[in-house]
Amino acid sequence: MHGRHILVTAGPTHEPIDPVRYLANRSSGRQGFAIAAALAALGAHVTLIAGPVTLPTPAGVTRIDVETAREMQAAVDAALPVDAAVMVAAVADWRVADTGQKIKKSGAPPVLQLIENPDILAGLARSAQRPALLIGFAAETEHVIAHATAKRARKNVDWIVANDVSGDVMGGLANTVHIVTAGGVESWERLPKEEVATRLAARIAAALGKQG
Ligand code: CTP
């Protein structure tokens, strides 16, 4: 994949509540980092936009660290154009509306007002710089394939990699995924996240190769 530029987002985002607290989720970043590593191993120029994780940067990958969903969105915009994007990050759906000074314990517990974060993947799908191959992830706990198929159409992406997160996937070492494309659904057995990454990278290389 020499000469191909591929964007990968990975990890959670942290959304501040006040200067010392934040909202987060259980994403470890492992699946996204493994995908970035596998793509770089095939010779692609990989830009990895990572939320707060404690993983080493894979060999040959350009890494940009961000904290919040809005920072991730800005970093994605700055990385364009790309030939393909693999949006693996577990972006926080909401952020706290007002973050000021540290919230003190004074009487009643505070009420946090949340507002929705931008959907980075859907925004990229609508943009003039939409990559030729746009891949989203879907974390599902039930009706995995039906939800992923609906998400693929709703977000206008080429492939959805559907994760069954009802077990210990978030933070774990293995993943059970279904690849949902225009052509149908391919279900892979439970595999180490590195093996999911290797197979997905090979599939991406084949798809970009067909586009010439
Ligand atoms: N995504 C994103 N920006 C967001 C939210 C999600 O880019 N603000 C991307 C993720 O990186 C992933 C896909 O969108 O590729 C997940 O879509 P989402 O609709 O958030 O799916 P789930 O997390 O599975 O949540 P839900 O089922 O509640 O829709």
Number of structural domains in the chain: 1
Answer yes or no: pTM beyond 0.85.
yes
Q: Measured in angstroms, how far is the CA atom of residue 29 from the centroid of ligand 1?
A: 15
Q: CA-to-CA distance for 101 and 110, rounded, in angstroms? A: 13
Q: Is the dihedral of CA 184, 189, 192, 198 positive or negative?
A: negative
Q: What atom in ligand 1 is closest to the CA of residue 123?
A: 7
Catalytic residue numbers, as ranges? 25
Which residue from 51, 25, 39 is spatially nearest to 82, judged by alpha carbons?
39
The CATH number for 77's domain is 3.40.50.10300
- Encoded amino acid at 131, one letter: P
Nearest 5°: the CA angle 162, 66, 50 is 40
Query: In the structure, which protein residues have their CB atom closer than 6 angstroms to any atom of ligand 1?
Result: 9, 69, 87, 89, 91, 93, 117, 119-121, 136-140, 151
Element (H, E) at 39: helix 30-41
Banded pLDDT at 77 (limits 50, 70, 90)? very high
Q: Provide mean pLDDT across the span 199-208.
A: 97
| Among 49-63, 132-146, 171-185, the range of highest mean pLDDT | 49-63
Crossing angle of the two packed helices 193-211 and 30-41, in degrees rounded to 10: 50
Is the pLDDT at 64 greater than 90, yes or no? yes
* Structural domain span for residue 122: 5-211
Looking at residue 202, the DSSP 8-state letter turns out to be: H
Query: For 106-143, what is each residue's pLDDT tens digit?
Result: 888 999 999 999 999 999 999 999 999 999 999 888 89
154 CA: nearest ligand 1 atom: 19
Structure tokens at 107: 């009487």
Question: Is pLDDT above 90 for 207?
Answer: yes
How far apart CA 188 and CA 38 sit, in angstroms, is 17
